[in-house]
Amino acid sequence: MLSRRAFFLTLAATGVGALAMLASYRLSRSALSEATYIRYAAVLTMAVYAIVGVLVVTQITPRVRLRWAVGSPVGGVVLGLVVGAALSGAILAAVSQAAGYLNPDPRMVAMMSEGDVPHLAAAFLVGCTAAPLVEEVLFRGLLLESFRSHGTGSQGTGLALLISAAGFAVWHLSFNLVPLLYYSLLGLLLGWLYLRRGLVCSMAAHVGFNGVLAIAAATVVLGGGGTATSDGLSVTLPQGWTVDTHALPSVASGGHPAMFLTGPSGSSIAVTSYSTPNGPSSERLSDQMRDPRFATANPGVKPLTLREVSFPVGRLLEVDMVTGRDPSVLVFVLRPGTSYELVFRSAGSPKALADFGPILRSLTVG
């Protein structure tokens, strides 16, 4: 395998990834909901690995012998899994400690966020099967090995290791300094493991590294729940919903930001409390919302959809609205003393839409 051939194969693979990223960017700027965009992005990611996998397989001829194992294959797999999982766990612990909560890779969390089997399976398939197999054969088995075979001694090996790590970093299309450094260092580690124990070791390390992140992301997505309370209002959260203590709703004059809940596919509920010492008036609020001036000042709200509903917490006024590209609902919980406003943004998520009703039924005021 000529080093030039491996180099151009890497360029072609990176080009496929760049085209997919451009397509993903165009989709993100389209009228698609966030939930639909996440599904399309997952399909694009799997397509990239499939195309690059085919490119790699076409280069594995009888003249190209992949260096699968040095020494015991079982020992190489065990070493790789331990090193990859330990490094990933240490990084995850440091990032989560700094954030104050479990904080895995946000891209994996987004891909899994609907919490169903297809989304979870796609994330694990990409992170723990496609990426380790395709990337290790491409960057270690072909690129590193081909440049190494054209060098002499440790100097040639070191140069091949650097070239492989640089290609691995560029492949991830992260052009800020910190991500480039992160992927370069990870590429150096995987290359070192490959040189010592072969592809089975670097692949196992890749699986261990991504596997820890995937399990952490699944823990976040399938976790959540519990009860959140703020300003006297309590809500029972379904699976996959959490309180974001770092984001509070921006409110108009007179309101107080109470809590911000995040759910699947970027859905959210912003809760604001208002002092109503003289008691709330649903009639007055209805008249205000049906005033043409209200519609002008709040273009996303659809006053003609205003409806009064009864829940265990009391009378609620609901009105449909649109925030960005997504159907949403504005809810007023009218109570003597303190009333509340909830802005539900669905992000096009089927799970979020199904969860919203139980969330409203769970509301209690202490």
127-138: pLDDT as tens digits: 999 999 999 999
Side chain identity, residue 86: A
Give the per-residue pLDDT at 154.
Answer: 67
Residue 118 near residue 188 (C-beta atoms within 8 A):
no
Give the per-residue pLDDT at 252.
Answer: 58
Structure tokens at 64: 């190209």
pLDDT at 79 over 90: yes
Q: Which residue has the tokens 């965009």?
A: 37
Give the per-residue pLDDT at 265.
Answer: 93
Element at 181 (helix H, strand E):
helix 177-197
Beta-strand pair 307-311/255-262? unpaired
Q: Which of 344, 306, 340 is nearest to 328 (CA)?
A: 344
Give the per-residue pLDDT at 187.
Answer: 96
pLDDT at 179 over 80: yes
Q: Which residue has the tokens 């440049």?
A: 147
pLDDT at 152 over 70: no
Structure tokens at 52: 């690059």
Q: DSSP assignment of 105-170, as one string?
A: -HHHHHHHTT-SHHHHHHHHHIIIIIHHHHHIIIIIIIIIHHHHTTS-HHHHHHHHHHHHHHHHHH
pLDDT at 253 over 60: no
320-332: pLDDT as tens digits: 887 767 778 989 8
pLDDT at 153 over 70: no
When pLDDT is averaged across residues 107-131 and rounded to a whole number, the result is: 94
pLDDT at 118 over 60: yes
SS3 content of the chain, % helix, strand, coil (to 5): 60, 15, 25
Collapsing DSSP to helix, strand or coil, 18 comes out as helix
Please report which confidence band the pLDDT of residue 251 belongs to, taking 50, 70 and 90 as the band edges.
Answer: low
Query: Which CATH number applies to 227-365?
Result: 3.40.1000.10
Domain boundaries, the chain: 3-222, 227-365
Share of residues in the chain with pLDDT > 70 (%): 93
pLDDT at 150 over 80: no
pLDDT at 207 over 90: yes
Phi, psi of 80 (to 5 degrees): -65, -45
- Comparing 128 with 11, the larger pLDDT belongs to 128
Q: What is the mean pLDDT of the chain?
A: 88
pLDDT at 35 over 60: yes
Strand stretches in the chain, DSSP E: 227-230, 233-236, 242-243, 255-262, 268-276, 307-311, 314-323, 326-333, 337-345, 364-365
Cα(295)–Cα(282) distance, rounded to whole angstroms? 18
Please report which confidence band the pLDDT of residue 254 belongs to, taking 50, 70 and 90 as the band edges.
Answer: low
Residue 235 near residue 363 (C-beta atoms within 8 A):
yes
Cα(348)–Cα(74) distance, rounded to whole angstroms? 46
280-309: pLDDT as tens digits: 677 777 777 777 777 676 777 887 788 888
Phi, psi of 29 (to 5 degrees): -95, 0
Please report which confidence band the pLDDT of residue 205 belongs to, taking 50, 70 and 90 as the band edges.
Answer: very high
Collapsing DSSP to helix, strand or coil, 183 comes out as helix
Cα(252)–Cα(323) distance, rounded to whole angstroms? 17
Q: Which of 71, 16, 73, 80 is nearest to 47 (CA)?
A: 16
